[in-house]
A and B are shown apart, each in its own frame.
Chain A
Amino acid sequence: MSKEKDKDQTQETSISRRSFLKGVGTSAVAASVAPSVLINAETAAEAQMGEEITRAKIKLNINDKTHEVEVEPRTTLLNVLRDGFDTSGNRLDLTGAKPICERGECGGCTVQIDGKAICSCMTLAIDAQGKQITTVEGIANGDQLHPVQEAFVEHDALMCGFCTPGFVVASKSLLDQNPSPSHEEIKEGLVGNICRCGTYPFIFEAVKAASRKMGG
């Protein structure tokens, strides 16, 4: 039963031709449906306190760019980043953050909110309004990789790479708070991220190297 429910949820929360045809306007991710079929639209930021919001047009500041998206309260930030469309019909297409455990246990969906690492799978999009959201797509400076990204490349800190975006953002967050962490502090700072290929020793070396690059 739980598997069926998970399947339902996947269908609800990602764009599939089938679910789109099945019922436009009932999809969990309103942001993933063409704007013309949306109903009950209202701007959450302007909603009266105490008012029941069942669908809302919200503004998200992601990587220093404002995106207006339409969401249901249950839509997670991760849903919007990966599968959401803005109200002009453009897909956000920020697929760096990965849906893996979807329970805040693996760190694959890590992004920064106001400079702090959080799990975007356990954050409602509606709760991310008015915050500075930084995804792995937003940490390089143009073509110049962030020192953490450079260090991950130089230290071969990945095998399959699926967990890497989460590790990069978590590592950057760690160094933002503690520019020269000890080995133990790096391990502690990255406990929220799992690498099933087991590249941890290389990841820890990469974080140390990034710390040196950043002058820590």
Chain B
Amino acid sequence: MENFAYVNAAEVEQVPSLLGDDWNETKIIAGGTDLLGELKEYIETPKKVVNLKSIPGLNEIKADAAGLTIGALVTLSDIAAHPTIQHHYTVLAEAAESVASPQIRNAGTLGGNLCQRPRCWYYRSPDIICLKKGGDTCYAVEGLNKYHAIFGGGPVYIVHPSDTAPALIALGATVKIVGPNGERAMPLEDFFVLPDVNPQRENVLEPNEVLTEVHVPQPKAGTKSTYLKVRERASFDFALSSVAAHFEMNGGTCSKASIVLGGVAPIPWRSKEAEAALNGKRITDAVAKQAGEAAVANAEPMTDNGYKVPLTRNIISRATMSLA
């Protein structure tokens, strides 16, 4: 990789000025597990890398009656192993546990998992300047698109690789962002942007902004949740398709369902259709099947990824039944 200047940030407020306003000049490092891959492939060649680990307090999990506050530097291992998260925010613990390998989870952070770049093989190839990297073509359209989007694609057809993002959206999380004009907060669902808004980015962050914290409201009593992820191989991998399911239950009836999919769209994909099929229903095999079918009714598979349609349909049904 190219050399770069390394800068320790003293406090969150200092980060925007250290980052500056050019994506290509400066990158953030936390766990480094995504950034180093990009640097080693020369996909990014920043002049400066800003270290967040020198900022105190960003690696804490606070759990109280109002909910959960997780600093951007908390590792995926620490989230997966946290008893309160396992018990009350199950979908998040399961999603964090499903990321990569123990080695990567011990280094990788929540902020990094939410802000990681796509795994598309055209994007990751140092020899290809695709639409995502400022070129004019998404090569997945005419090329090999086995791992690409079946929802929300165009003009770029990447899928969002995060496991924690669907889980956190299902839980109704908000994120805190610090920029040159101070803080802003927004639902995590609004943090991600489709490629027709900005083909080169996956979220609303400006070059001089940093995600610092995630807040998750305390789920209501009787809530059930789970994360179900399908990989191409039995050991670690990114999702071919995944579902974060979070149900507010009233006896055997689902009073409010959140179904958010991973690995199938350029952003974590909320399935309003599946949610509508579940809301107010008693969870039965037939209802679970309907939810899966409703979710994929409007899927737009490409030439090589048609398998994702029945796969996604079936994991929604399976996740639903596991919460019945």
Q: By the criterion CB–CB under 8 Å, are A189 and B102 in contact?
A: yes
Main secondary structure on A side of the interface with B: mixed
Flag the segment in A83-91, A99-107, A152-160, A204-212 that touches B. A99-107
C-beta contact mask, B1-36 vs A, less than 8 Å → 1, else 0?
A: 111111111100010001000000000010011001
Q: Collect the chain B residues with CB atoms within 8 Å of residue A126's CB.
A: 6
The stretch that binds B, out of A31-39, A49-57, A133-141, A142-150, is: A49-57
User: Does any Cβ of B come within 8 Å of A18's Cβ?
Assistant: no
B7 and A53 form a contact (CB under 8 A): yes
Q: Chain B contact residues (Cβ within 8 angstroms of A): what range?
A: 35 or more
Do A49 and B102 have beta carbons less than 8 Å apart? no
Least Cβ–Cβ distance between B76 and chain A, in angstroms: 12
For residue B49, which residues in chain A have a CB less than 8 angstroms away from its CB? 73
Candidates A50, A73, A122; contact of B14 at CB < 8 Å: A50
Question: Which residues of A from 40 to 69 have beta carbons under 8 Å from B?
Answer: 44, 47, 49-54, 56
Interface hit among B40-48, B137-145, B245-253: B40-48
A-contact 0/1 string along B87-107, CB 8 Å cutoff: 000000000000011111011
Q: Is the CB of A192 within 8 A of B32?
A: no
**Contact call B103/A107, Cβ cutoff below 8 A:** yes
Q: Which residues of A contact B36 (CB under 8 A)?
A: 76, 104, 121-122, 124
The residues of B that contact A5 with a CB separation of less than 8 Å are: 41-42, 126
Report which of A47, A116, A193 forms a contact with B106, defined as CB distance below 8 A: A116
What's the Cα separation between A116 and B103 when bound, in Å?
A: 8
CB-defined contacts of B54 to chain A, threshold 8 Å: 49
Please judge, given known A-B contacts A50-B7, A74-B2, A116-B106, whether A192 and B236 are in contact too, CB under 8 Å.
yes
Confirm or deny: A70 has a beta carbon within 8 angstroms of a beta carbon on chain B.
no
Report 20 cross-chain contacts, Cβ distance below 8 Å, ordered by A residue. Answer: A9-B40, A47-B8, A49-B54, A52-B7, A52-B48, A54-B6, A73-B4, A73-B6, A74-B39, A103-B37, A104-B104, A107-B103, A110-B103, A113-B106, A118-B106, A119-B103, A119-B107, A127-B32, A127-B53, A192-B100
Least distance between A59 CB and chain B CB atoms (Å)? 16
Is A117 part of the contact surface with B, judged by Cβ < 8 Å? yes
User: Known contacts A2-B127, A76-B36: does B5 contact A117 (CB below 8 Å)?
Assistant: no
Question: A125 to nearest B CB, angstroms?
Answer: 11
B5 to chain A, nearest CB (A): 4
Contact among B2, B6, B100, B107 with A123 in the assembled complex (CB-CB below 8 Å): B107
CB of B181 closer than 8 Å to a CB of A: no
Contact for A52 among B6, B100, B127, CB less than 8 A: B6
Contact call A54/B5, Cβ cutoff below 8 A: yes
**CB-CB contacts of A1-17 with B at 8 A, as 1s and 0s?**
11001000100000000
Q: Are B103 and A104 in contact (CB under 8 A)?
A: yes
Residues in A whose Cβ lies below 8 Å from that of B107:
118-119, 122-123
